[in-house]
C-alpha cells in the first residue's frame, strides 16, 4: 500500500509542471483546438484547389467515392464533429454539385 501512495505522489509531482498556472501564457485547450482546425482548413483548401475541377469526379474504383464526394463527406463529418460545441443538432445540407 505504501508503494502505491509513493507511485501516486511521484505521478502528481511529475505532472505538476504540465498543469497551467494562473496568469500562464500557455494556450488553452480551446486555443489549441482552434489552431489545429485552422491548420487543417488551410491544408484541406490547398488540396481542393490543387485538383483540377474536371477531376473532381475521379474514382480509383467504381465503389469508392469520387474526389468531390470525399470533400463533401469531409465537410459533413466536420459538422458532426463540431456540433457538440455549438449545441446544435448536425444537419449538413446536400451540396448543389460535386465541383
Cβ–Cβ < 8 Å for 68, 57: yes
SS (H, E, C) 42-70: HHHHHHHHHCCHHHCCCCCCCCCCCHHHH
Whole-structure pTM value: 0.56
Q: For residue 39, is it within any domain?
A: no
Cβ–Cβ < 8 Å for 13, 19: no
Q: Domain range holding 69?
A: 45-99
Q: For residue 57, is it within any domain?
A: yes
Q: For residue 91, is it within any domain?
A: yes
Q: For residue 37, is it within any domain?
A: no
Higher pLDDT, 94 or 50: 50
Q: For residue 21, is it within any domain?
A: no
Domains of the chain: total = 1
Q: For residue 71, is it within any domain?
A: yes
Q: What is the mean pLDDT of residues 44-59?
A: 90
> Exposed/middle/buried for 68, CB within 10 Å: 0-12, 13-18, 19+?
buried
Cβ–Cβ < 8 Å for 57, 66: yes
pLDDT in tens, 67-80: 888 888 888 888 87
Q: Give the helix/strand (H/E) hosting 3.
A: helix 2-15
Q: For residue 20, is it within any domain?
A: no
Q: For residue 50, is it within any domain?
A: yes
pLDDT in tens, 12-49: 655 555 555 556 677 788 788 888 888 988 998 899 89
Amino acid at each position: 500500500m505504501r508503494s502505491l501512495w509513493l507511485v501516486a505522489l511521484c505521478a502528481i509531482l511529475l505532472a505538476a509542471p504540465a498543469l497551467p498556472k494562473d496568469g500562464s501564457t500557455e494556450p488553452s485547450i480551446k486555443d489549441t483546438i482552434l489552431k489545429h482546425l485552422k491548420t487543417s482548413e488551410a491544408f484541406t483548401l490547398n488540396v481542393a484547389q490543387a485538383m483540377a475541377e474536371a477531376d473532381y469526379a475521379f474514382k480509383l474504383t467504381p465503389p469508392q467515392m469520387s474526389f468531390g464526394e470525399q470533400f463533401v463527406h469531409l465537410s459533413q463529418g466536420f459538422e458532426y464533429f463540431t456540433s457538440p460545441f455549438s449545441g446544435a443538432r448536425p444537419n449538413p445540407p446536400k451540396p448543389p454539385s460535386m465541383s
